[in-house]
Amino acid sequence: MSAPAPIPFIDLTPGEDHAAVRAALDRVVARGWFVLGPEVGAFESEFATASGAPFAIGVGNGTDAIALALRALGIGHGDEVIVPAMTAAYTALAVIAAGATPVLVDVEPHTLTIDPAACAAAVTSQTRAIVPVHLYGQAADMESIRSVASRHSLAIVEDCCQAHLATDRGVAVGTRCEAAAFSFYPTKNLGALGDGGIVITGSEALASRVRRLRNGGQQERARHVEAGVNSRLDDLQAAVLRARLPLLPQWTTRRRALAARYRQLLPSSLRTIRERDAGHVYHLFPVLTAERGVLQTHLTSAGIETMVHYPVALTDQPAFAAFVSHECPVATAAASELLSLPLSPRLTDADVERVANAVATFVKGHRSA
Ligand SMILES: *Cc1c(COP(=O)(O)O)cnc(C)c1O
């Protein structure tokens, strides 16, 4: 009997969208307009509609989307911005890129999203904003975060880089705050064939400032009214994203179905991220175990590829040593226990069953897992 085919963590080659992606690329090449052209404008309005926001501004990547949203709010040098200690480092790097100071706070134990009480405890006279992260595709506890923000007059910029089409109590994420940022890095729920990002907002003034900042701070051609950056979405990526956006609802449904299957099949003793809201879009499906390293090796030898999101809490990253002012024990402990199982719309039911069975076999043999 031959070994079963390996299950990759993710397959980024186009699948059912292949023909539409090729046609999009050909269209842009034939047109010969590659940066801030008609595909970008069209995608901005289509993404705004899909995400329930009045305005959307395409930028170079998700990190820039966060940084430019903060800058457009007037946040920069001397200002503190609260971010969770368990996220992609880019969340905090974006705050630094905006010129502000990230303040790292702990996350909640069952969802690993930012802890509203920790946010409240971290507020100082310099605090200007909170950047909650909808980690793994699930909204942070926004009701509590909004109440902290309104009590202290703080802006909220939501990091929706893992949460395309996610909802929070039935309302689209990113639509009840000053601005929100999305990434189209190839592995995201909506991914390009390279880097890309977008800012959504309900404020026309904020939208036009982000629009200006992404393009060197130009008000009109060659008139730079402020020191912006070069962070433009290009037309090849926008065209690919336009081809994929109509498929995103069905891909999201598929992610939810596969996650539900994992929840049925995985041993109940194994810790998973709690689903607090059915609007979760399952960018990732992590489990937590004290035996993470051995479980990963066990799955690798069964032909199952896994990854860790994230192996180091931001408070334990050398790059952020200067910004550690609060203990983040939940994030630190999770970093040594997290293991993301494969979850992408391309997986079959049989793939997910094979992964779950392999995990169950391991757990049976390792009581302490
Ligand atoms: C991917 C990601 C980012 C950064 O997006 P890029 O497009 O890679 O710059 C920021 N925050 C989170 C939570 C992410 O997952």
**Both 102 and 152 in a single domain?**
yes
**Both 159 and 61 in a single domain?**
yes
**Both 336 and 230 in a single domain?**
no
| 1 band by pLDDT with thresholds 50, 70 and 90 | low
Give the mean model confidence (pLDDT) for residues 64-82.
98
**Both 107 and 186 in a single domain?**
yes
Q: Pick the atom of ligand 1 nearest to 183's CA.
A: 7
Q: What are phi and psi of 201, to 5 degrees?
A: -160, 160
Q: Give domain status of residue 305, yes or no.
A: yes
Protein residues whose CB sits closer than 6 Å to any atom of ligand 1: 61-63, 87-88, 90-91, 133, 159, 161-162, 183, 185, 195, 197
For residue 16, the CA-to-ligand 1 centroid distance in Å is: 25
Which of 159, 231, 232, 308 gets mutated to test ligand 1 (max ligand atoms within 8 A of its CB)?
Answer: 159
Nearest CA to ligand 1 atom 2: 161
**Both 65 and 175 in a single domain?**
yes
pLDDT tens per residue across span 170-214: 999 999 999 999 999 999 999 999 999 999 999 999 999 999 999
Rounded to whole angstroms, how far apart are CA atoms 65 and 173?
Answer: 15
For residue 182, the CA-to-ligand 1 centroid distance in Å is: 8
**Both 233 and 337 in a single domain?**
no
Q: Give domain status of residue 88, yes or no.
A: yes
**Both 194 and 258 in a single domain?**
no
CATH number of the structural domain spanning residue 75? 3.40.640.10
pLDDT tens per residue across span 314-348: 999 999 999 999 999 999 999 999 999 999 999 99
Q: Give domain status of residue 4, yes or no.
A: no
Q: Give domain status of residue 1, yes or no.
A: no
Q: Are 111 and 273 in contact (CB under 8 A)?
A: yes
Q: Pick the atom of ligand 1 nearest to 65's CA.
A: 9
Domain boundaries, position 196: 18-246
Q: Pick the atom of ligand 1 nearest to 66's CA.
A: 10
> CA torsion angle for 169, 170, 175, 180 (degrees, to 10)?
70
Closest residue by Cα to residue 136 from 34, 4, 284? 284
- Number of structural domains (the chain) is 2
- What's the pTM value of the predicted model, to 2 decimals? 0.98
Rounded to whole angstroms, how far apart are CA atoms 283 and 309?
Answer: 11
End position of a domain, from candidates 205, 223, 246: 246
